[in-house]
């Protein structure tokens, strides 16, 4: 069969329809055998579209990106990055990884000379920035997109499918501008764009989903203006047209519930708030502004004297907070909280165990008794252990053997659908490893506030690739890698330059780029097996008394005798 006949076999199927793989599997096999990277790029791109599993979608997107690099086409590389970013954003609601992919897509799209692709990338970038709270930056991107897509949508010389895509791009960019204006409290401009969107999508079945977004925006505007019945009507109509967008469905339900509360219809309000909890339970996703949903439910069942339901929604709110902190780190501190985490945990504890304090008191007394019995022995044992650990470090430093464990030899994986490794072109890996070597040699790791995202930008890559290379070739994740470099650097300074022995722990931490005294002490102990205060104490004593410590063999004998 030809490549075209394979594509015709599945092109009528809907997204996530696994039946497509009856044609896609032989399509991929044929392209691999014939080493047709352009066809392989298309096949993997389609496989990501038709696969049901999010993880498999990511695997196919990685393979698509690998094939795109082999074609040396900036157009295809940018398209592959968009594909991967869209899976993170639309399917998994993971905004930080999505932003990384879209930034790479933006980088390559600038070289293509294709304004449609460039604006498509700008749109995706703007959406993620909007979700992460960078509203002004997102607004600037959407204004450019609206201008471009509107102009192209009115180009009667274009093919009808191209006109349709540009119309869709225009309407979605318009919706995102409304979100931006709402977030920055410019409600007049938001309302103006809402009216345009409703007019453009009136009686047009091709854009029913886009219309649902404008109806949702109109409902939110009506709620803000105290027109609660009207808000309910618009939001309900929005839900009827909205398809497969659980994030905005949750927003519709929330403001329908809030409107019913304002109208003193508590029963209908609670029914809508519970629908949000159902979506959260299924999708494990919630927008920061919907956190209040759980505070309302907790208060409702507190007033009803129903501790069982109160406990359930308290637990749900704690889960929601952890997800908001993970997915919306920038926005999380700005979210208004009637109940903060400490208060929630305290309330949860009261609801779960009325007699917890007596149990804890007994446990503490028992533990204290055991602790007192062994205190003297442990103190003696600890001092011997500190001395032994210091001697080990001293020996390694003197023998110039105080280095990070050897890097791991990467395992070669066969290219299969089940391979969960990120596919990265070998040229990219080699370039990253060279840049990391320079990074280590020039001691750039002592930069304060260095994150994998910041380092990725400095190395002109994205955080996913950087994380993968560090894990595979350094044998540890980014945080451990950075901490290891910093602690070994400061340990050498403490051993070789006496002036550092007079520095405070806070100063030593800052000297190697670690912001927290506690994190510094913990990392020092994790890598050296000894606290920095103990290391400094032993080093000072050695210098002052010019002691000759026993050999390692005699130290081992000393410890074993006790």
Cα-based torsion angle of the residue sequence 307, 310, 314, 317 in order, rounded to the nearest 10 degrees: 170
CATH H-level superfamily of 379-561: Homeodomain-like (1.10.10.60)
Q: Looking at residue 332, what is its pLDDT?
A: 45
Query: Cα separation of 61 and 239, whole Å?
Result: 31
Q: Looking at residue 98, what is its pLDDT?
A: 85
Please state, rounded to an integer, the average pLDDT across all residues of the chain. 85
* Percentage of the chain modeled with pLDDT above 90: 55
Mean pLDDT of 151-159: 88
Mean pLDDT of 475-490: 93
Q: Note the pLDDT tens digit of each residue in 529-555.
A: 999 999 999 889 888 876 444 444 444
Model confidence band, residue 329 (pLDDT cutoffs 50, 70, 90):
low
Q: Note the pLDDT tens digit of each residue in 72-106.
A: 999 999 999 999 999 988 767 777 788 889 889 98
Residue 426, Cα to own-chain centre: how many angstroms? 25
Distances (CA, A) of 447 to 150, 256, 439: 45, 49, 11
Higher pLDDT, 154 or 351: 154
Contact between 132 and 102 under an 8 Å Cβ cutoff? The reply is: no
Residue 267 above 80 pLDDT? yes
Q: Looking at residue 112, what is its pLDDT?
A: 83
Higher pLDDT, 400 or 521: 521
Sign of CA dihedral 32, 38, 40, 41: positive
Higher pLDDT, 459 or 419: 459
Spatial CA neighbour of 212 closest among 195, 229, 228, 234: 234
Residue 386 above 50 pLDDT? yes
Spatial CA neighbour of 123 closest among 102, 98, 151, 153: 102
Higher pLDDT, 404 or 157: 157
Mean pLDDT of 208-236: 97
Residue 378 above 80 pLDDT? no
**Cα maximum dimension of the chain:** 92
Mean pLDDT of 130-155: 91
Model confidence band, residue 373 (pLDDT cutoffs 50, 70, 90):
low
Q: Looking at residue 408, what is its pLDDT?
A: 47
Residue 155 above 70 pLDDT? yes
Query: Cα separation of 321 and 284, whole Å?
Result: 11
Residue 381 above 50 pLDDT? yes
Which residues 6+ apart lie within 8 Å of 77 measured at CB? 65, 68, 69, 71, 108
Query: Cα separation of 289 and 432, whole Å?
Result: 39
Q: Looking at residue 421, what is its pLDDT?
A: 46
Residue 339 above 70 pLDDT? no
Mean pLDDT of 267-293: 92
Q: Looking at residue 94, what is its pLDDT?
A: 77
Contact between 232 and 260 under an 8 Å Cβ cutoff? The reply is: yes
Query: Cα separation of 64 and 70, whole Å?
Result: 10
Residues in the chain: 562
Residue 338 above 70 pLDDT? no
Q: Which CATH number is associated with domain 204-285?
A: 1.25.40.10
Distances (CA, A) of 457 to 100, 156, 205, 463: 10, 42, 43, 8
Q: Looking at residue 559, what is its pLDDT?
A: 36
Query: Cα separation of 197 and 217, whole Å?
Result: 10
Model confidence band, residue 434 (pLDDT cutoffs 50, 70, 90):
very high
Mean pLDDT of 446-461: 91
Q: Look up residue 356 and give its two tokens.
A: 């917890």
Residue 188 above 80 pLDDT? yes
Mean pLDDT of 280-291: 88
Residue 197 above 50 pLDDT? yes
Contacts 24+ apart (CB under 8 A), 291-299: 291/317, 291/320, 291/321, 291/324, 291/335, 291/337, 292/254, 292/336, 292/338, 293/254, 293/257, 294/320, 295/337, 295/338, 295/339, 296/257, 296/261, 296/269, 297/270, 297/273, 298/339
Mean pLDDT of 489-518: 91
Cite the beta strand spans of 63-220 per DSSP E: none
């Amino acid at each position: 069969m030809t490549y075209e006949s394979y594509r015709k076999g599945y092109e009528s199927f809907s997204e996530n329809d696994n039946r497509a793989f009856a044609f896609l599997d032989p399509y991929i096999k044929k392209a691999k055998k014939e080493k047709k990277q352009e066809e392989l790029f298309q096949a993997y791109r389609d496989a990501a579209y038709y696969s049901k599993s999010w993880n498999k979608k990511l695997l196919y997107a990685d393979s698509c990106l690998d094939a795109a690099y082999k074609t040396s086409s900036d157009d295809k590389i940018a398209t592959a990055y968009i594909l991967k970013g869209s899976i993170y954003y639309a399917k998994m609601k993971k905004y930080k990884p999505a932003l990384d992919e879209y930034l790479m897509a933006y980088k390559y799209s600038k070289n293509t000379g294709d304004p449609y692709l460039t604006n498509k990338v700008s749109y995706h970038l703007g959406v993620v920035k909007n979700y992460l709270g960078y509203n002004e930056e997102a607004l600037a991107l959407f204004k450019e997109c609206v201008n471009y897509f509107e102009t192209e949508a009115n180009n009667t010389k274009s093919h009808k499918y191209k006109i349709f895509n540009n119309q869709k791009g225009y309407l979605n960019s318009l919706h995102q501008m409304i979100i931006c204006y709402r977030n920055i409290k410019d409600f007049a401009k938001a309302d103006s764009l809402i009216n345009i969107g409703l007019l453009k999508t009136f009686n047009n079945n091709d854009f029913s989903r886009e219309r649902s977004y404008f109806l949702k925006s109109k409902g939110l505007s009506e709620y803000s203006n105290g027109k609660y019945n009207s808000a309910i009507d618009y939001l309900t109509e929005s839900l009827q047209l909205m398809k497969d967008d659980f994030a905005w469905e949750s927003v519709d339900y929330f403001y329908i519930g809030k409107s019913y509360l304002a109208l003193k219809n508590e029963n209908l309000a609670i029914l809508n708030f519970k629908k949000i909890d159902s979506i959260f339970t299924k999708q494990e996703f919630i927008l920061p502004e919907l956190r209040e949903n759980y505070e309302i439910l907790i208060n409702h069942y507190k007033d009803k004297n129903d501790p069982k339901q109160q406990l359930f929604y308290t637990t749900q709110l704690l889960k929601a907070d952890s997800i908001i902190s993970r997915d919306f780190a920038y926005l999380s501190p700005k979210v208004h909280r009637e109940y903060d985490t400490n208060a929630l945990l305290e309330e949860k504890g009261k609801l779960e165990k009325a007699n917890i304090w007596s149990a804890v008191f007994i446990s503490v007394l028992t533990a204290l008794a055991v602790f007192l019995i062994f205190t003297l022995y442990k103190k003696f044992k600890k001092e011997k252990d500190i001395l032994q650990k210091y001697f080990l470090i001293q020996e390694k430093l003197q023998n110039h053997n105080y280095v990070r464990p050897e890097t791991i030899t990467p395992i070669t994986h066969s290219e299969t659908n089940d391979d969960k490794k990120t596919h990265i072109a070998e040229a990219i890996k080699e370039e990253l490893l060279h840049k990391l070597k320079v990074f280590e040699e020039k001691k750039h790791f002592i930069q304060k506030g260095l994150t994998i995202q910041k380092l990725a930008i400095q190395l002109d890559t994205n955080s996913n690739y950087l994380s993968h290379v560090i894990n595979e070739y350094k044998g540890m994740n980014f945080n451990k890698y950075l901490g290891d470099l910093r602690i070994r650097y400061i340990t050498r300074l403490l051993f070789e330059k006496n002036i550092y022995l007079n520095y405070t722990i806070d100063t030593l931490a800052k000297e190697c780029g670690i912001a927290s005294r506690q994190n510094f002490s913990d990392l020092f102990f994790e890598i050296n097996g000894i606290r920095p205060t103990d290391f400094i104490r032993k080093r000072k004593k050695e210098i002052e008394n010019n002691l000759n410590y026993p050999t390692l063999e005699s130290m081992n004998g000393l410890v074993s005798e006790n």
